[in-house]
Chains A and B, each alone.
Chain A
Amino acid sequence: MKSARWGAIALAAPLAFLLAAPVQAADGNVEAGRVKANTCMGCHGIPKYNNVYPTYRVPKLGGQSAEYLAAALNEYKQGNRAHGTMHAQASSLSEQDIADIAAFLATAPKHP
């Protein structure tokens, strides 16, 4: 009985770590993010807005998780996603800016 319990704990501990690991980054303030996300809306707030050279639509961000949005912004910032404009934008953002923007966009109202 005792050993079975310890076994369950031993199994659960690494699982808990795995679940907790990706969540740590997002401690964003939604209202601060609302203000900081103004620039994003110039492209991402317009339905079917196109990137140019090459032409493809800029992605829909509403409905993505704060964790994913923060990860994407960090990748643009670090140069792990090649995109001139997004790299320039993300490079000007602090860790807190990214957390705030991600927190806001994940819960942003829909384009009217």
Chain B
Amino acid sequence: MKRSIASFPSLVLSAALLGLAPAGAALAQGATPEKAAVCAACHGERGAKPIAPNYPVLAGQYANYLERALHEYKSGDRKNPIMGAQAASLSEDDIKALATYFAEQDSPLYTPSVGDAPQQP
């Protein structure tokens, strides 16, 4: 009984520290944003391997495009029930941190070209 009362202030303190942690993580360069784990659940580890064929690769995409897309999901300019719900919970700092993080990851993405006509073997 006495013990649980004694630990109460330390609980409050650790809760306060946890509250501060995400802001600090978002500012640190190269750190993985806490919310990136939610994205990875569908877009794959580091956003490089989506779990469904109709989900995009995020890894290596331009940061300001990813930022734009998240803003559009949030505002409803892009209508998608899953992404709309996800983006609604993101702050401006979250969006910046996530876009920067995914743009920096190793990527299968590239700028395409039309190339040459088919080559016969």
Residues of chain B within 8 A (CB-CB) of A95 are none
Residues of chain A within 8 A (CB-CB) of B78 are 75, 80-82
Contact call A59/B72, Cβ cutoff below 8 A: no
Interface residues on A, range: 35 or more
Residues of chain B within 8 A (CB-CB) of A63 are 57, 107-110
Contact pick for A64, options B56, B113, B116, CB 8 Å: B56
Contact call B67/A47, Cβ cutoff below 8 A: no
Chain A 40-83 near chain B by CB (<8 Å), digits 1 or 0: 01001111100000111111111111111011100100001110
A57-B65, A80-B78, A82-B78 known; A67 vs B112 contact (CB < 8 Å)? no
A81-B72, A82-B72 known; A68 vs B53 contact (CB < 8 Å)? yes
Chain B 85-118 near chain A by CB (<8 Å), digits 1 or 0: 0000000000000000000000111111111111
> Any chain A CB within 8 A of the CB of B64?
yes
Beyond A45-B114, A56-B65, 5 additional contacts (C-beta under 8 Å) are: A46-B111, A57-B64, A60-B62, A75-B78, A75-B80
